[in-house]
Amino acid sequence: MNDHEPRNSAHRSRRFILGALPAVALAAAACSSMDSKESPPSAEEVRQEAGPPPRPATPDEAIDVLMKGNARFASGKPEIRDTADIEVLWTEISNGQQPFAMVLGCADSRLAPELIFDQFVGDVFVVREAGNIAESPTNLGSLEFGQAVLKAKALVVLGHSGCGAVKAAFEKATPGGNIQAVVDAIKPGIAGATDVDDAIVRNVKAVVDHVRKASTLLAGAEEAGDFKIVGAVYDIPTAEVRMI
Ligand SMILES: [Zn+2]
């Protein structure tokens, strides 16, 4: 079984339950479970026996967890969490965040990363801007915070089918206002594109390159093997994410 298979609600719950209990209480719980062989375990006891979820330890594992989540979402079978699971998850995120991955995605309303990767709040650190670009120091700074402080293991630069921002850049549109700044930022990276789909892929690759060049912090973490930057495209009709 893959290391990530146990990443279900039952396994996740135990981590949070154990994290919330002092050692003395855990010892008491262990004794009490040994003394109660006659009675069937409660749902809560079953959860506690399930074992802690393996938090992705490497960049590849983090990406694997995201892709497995996308497969669940695309097949219409997202993870089901009951009320008790959600309560303990809420307790955990109230105490802080430990996102295992980051997504730099387009602002498009159909691209909510937590949904399309089937993750819970607190799992993914997200920066979004039309065209999934990171031109500004503030966007790059947010990504650096996610890696350096929150210890996210991977960054997925996520483009998507039918991206209006990339389409505008491909067609050399002149929308004016501040929208123009978005279009102009995308244009250099898609030079030579044959159609909008090609431009979407080129834009993702250009943004991956840009992040590496513009952030010595993220590039250094990647070189050290602690972090990975990858590109992907989300196909809206099928809900599937394709790595590029
Ligand atoms: Zn878009």
pLDDT of residue 46: 53
Asked if residue 73 has pLDDT above 70, the reply is yes
For the segment 173-186, the average pLDDT, to the nearest whole number, is 97
Shared domain check, 100 and 194: yes
How many whole angstroms from 157 Cα to the centroid of ligand 1?
12
Shared domain check, 105 and 164: yes
3-7, 53-57, 210-214: the lowest-pLDDT one: 3-7
Q: Is residue 217 part of a domain?
A: yes
Q: Is residue 3 part of a domain?
A: no
How is residue 84 written in tokens? 């008790």
Matching residue, tokens 């898609």: 190
Asked if residue 54 has pLDDT above 50, the reply is yes
Rounded CA-CA distance 80/92 in Å is 18
How many whole angstroms from 196 Cα to the centroid of ligand 1?
12
How many whole angstroms from 223 Cα to the centroid of ligand 1?
29
How many whole angstroms from 203 Cα to the centroid of ligand 1?
11
Shared domain check, 177 and 70: yes
28-37, 93-102, 185-194: the lowest-pLDDT one: 28-37
Shared domain check, 127 and 43: no
How many whole angstroms from 128 Cα to the centroid of ligand 1?
10
Coil, strand or helix at 117: coil
pLDDT of residue 40: 67
Shared domain check, 226 and 111: yes
Which of 240, 203, 232, 235 has its CA nearest to residue 63?
232
Q: Is residue 90 part of a domain?
A: yes
145-172 per-position pLDDT tens digit: 999 999 999 999 999 999 999 999 999 9
pLDDT of residue 158: 98
How many whole angstroms from 174 Cα to the centroid of ligand 1?
17
DSSP 8-state class, residue 41: P
How many whole angstroms from 137 Cα to the centroid of ligand 1?
20
When the pLDDT of each residue in the chain is averaged and rounded to a whole number, the result is: 85
For the segment 17-30, the average pLDDT, to the nearest whole number, is 36
Strand partners, 240: 235
What radius of gyration do the chain's Cα atoms show? 21
Shared domain check, 131 and 193: yes
pLDDT of residue 167: 98
How many whole angstroms from 104 Cα to the centroid of ligand 1?
11
Pairing of strands 228-235, 154-160: parallel
Q: Is residue 38 part of a domain?
A: yes
How many whole angstroms from 79 Cα to the centroid of ligand 1?
26
Q: What percent of the chain has pLDDT over 70?
A: 78
How many whole angstroms from 111 Cα to the centroid of ligand 1?
8
For the segment 56-70, the average pLDDT, to the nearest whole number, is 97
List the domain range (segments joined by +) for residue 160. 59-243
How many whole angstroms from 136 Cα to the centroid of ligand 1?
17
How many whole angstroms from 239 Cα to the centroid of ligand 1?
14
Q: How confident is the model at residue 220 (pLDDT cuts 50, 70, 90)?
A: very high
Phi-psi map region of 93: left, alpha, beta (phi>0 left; psi -120 to 50 alpha): alpha
pLDDT of residue 72: 97
CATH number, residue 231: 3.40.1050.10
CB 51 within 8 A of CB 84: no
Q: Is residue 54 part of a domain?
A: no
How many whole angstroms from 190 Cα to the centroid of ligand 1?
14
How is residue 85 written in tokens? 């699971």
Which of 123, 147, 112, 92 has its CA nearest to residue 7?
123
How many whole angstroms from 95 Cα to the centroid of ligand 1?
33
Say if residue 2 is exposed, middle or buried (CB neighbours under 10 Å; 0-12, 13-18, 19+). exposed
Shared domain check, 17 and 127: no
Shared domain check, 169 and 237: yes
Q: Is residue 4 part of a domain?
A: no
pLDDT of residue 177: 97
Shared domain check, 41 and 97: no
CB 211 within 8 A of CB 157: yes
Per the structure, how many domains does the chain have? 2
Shared domain check, 118 and 31: no
How many whole angstroms from 100 Cα to the centroid of ligand 1?
24
pLDDT of residue 44: 54
Shared domain check, 43 and 71: no
Q: Is residue 135 part of a domain?
A: yes
How many whole angstroms from 160 Cα to the centroid of ligand 1?
6
pLDDT of residue 85: 81
How many whole angstroms from 106 Cα to the centroid of ligand 1?
5
Shared domain check, 44 and 64: no
Strand partners, 197: none
Asked if residue 41 has pLDDT above 90, the reply is no
For the segment 139-148, the average pLDDT, to the nearest whole number, is 98
25-38 per-position pLDDT tens digit: 334 334 344 444 45
